[in-house]
Amino acid sequence: METENWKQWREFFAARSERRLPGLDDPQDYSALPKSLARSLAVFQLGESGGGSIVQQAAGSTIPAAGPDYASAMRLFVAEEHRHAAILAICVRNLGGTLIHQHWTARLFVRARRLLGLRLKVMVLLAAEVVGICYYHLLATRLPAGRLRSLLAQVVNDERSHLHFHCSFLRSQVTTGWRRRVFVATWRAAMFVAAGIVLLDHRHALRDMGLSPSTVWRRWTAYSRLAERLVCRTPVPVDADLALLREPDVPRRVLHEVSASTV
């Protein structure tokens, strides 16, 4: 897609907006999975539930390269995030967990975004996409084949397009060398903070699912550098983001099943 072709993005999100939510009941037994997994997904579920203020800000923005089509695409993006919240709620309930209505990381995220302009808000959203893509995918590769893994794989696939959507907007804003340098410095700081918070807050789930902090950190670093290159117009191979999701310590059969999963 062209960087400023927000009509295409609007149509892209609109075409996916009619997808049905999966049913709540899942006959599969997940009792062997750690309770920390449900608690971790409940925190992410809360984080996927917000985003209304950025829709209003995009609609009223006078930033070059934005406009009505971008605002409409942003509204559809937020609606898709709310769909992810509903999917994660299903995952939490099937794991025997309970949903939460407040959490310190969600409050921090909301307060930070309220203080920022549209450009920095989109950067924060992009950081959340990078964290979410890698985290959901790594969890999915550790789950048994079945509906739960399929649900997380669908969220990962959606989040990959969200990453490119936000990179397209930021790319339209960093059109000079000094702006790219400012973006890189700010972006790396934002990713460091976001990844550090998740590693701290979700350390029990990571440990119980057999994911070392170093493995997760390396994956986030690689994916954040890819986003950086996309924004700064550095050539990258087609589907480079998908290639970064390949896990050397996971059987190829499992990776194929996760990548091909659909609801």
Show the domains of the chain with their CATH numbers.
Answer: 33-260 (1.20.1260.10)
Identify the DSSP state of 145. Answer: S
Mean pLDDT of 188-200: 91
Longest dimension (CA), the chain: 55
Q: Give the per-residue pLDDT at 28.
A: 81
pLDDT tens digits for range 34-67? 999 999 999 999 888 776 678 888 888 778 777 8
Across all residues in the chain, what is the average pLDDT?
83
Alpha-carbon separation of residue 188 from 126, 127, 185, 216, 226 (angstroms): 12, 9, 5, 16, 12
Mean pLDDT of 109-135: 81
87 band by pLDDT with thresholds 50, 70 and 90:
very high
Q: What's the alpha-carbon Rg for the chain, to the nearest Å?
A: 18
Alpha-carbon separation of residue 164 from 9, 24, 141, 168, 202 (angstroms): 10, 30, 23, 6, 26
Q: Give the per-residue pLDDT at 229.
A: 92
Q: What are the two backbone dihedrals, phi and then psi, of residue 220, each rounded to the nearest 5 degrees?
A: -60, -40
Q: Smallest Cα–Cα separation from 180: which of 191, 192, 167?
A: 167
Contact between residue 209 and residue 139 where contact means Cβ atoms under 8 Å apart:
yes
Distance CA 37, CA 149 (A): 13
Mean pLDDT of 79-102: 91
76, pLDDT greater than 70: yes
Q: Give the per-residue pLDDT at 259.
A: 46
pTM confidence score:
0.84
Distance CA 227, CA 222 (A): 9
Distance CA 35, CA 165 (A): 34
Q: Is 201 exposed, middle or buried (0-12, 13-18, 19+ CB in 10 A)?
A: middle
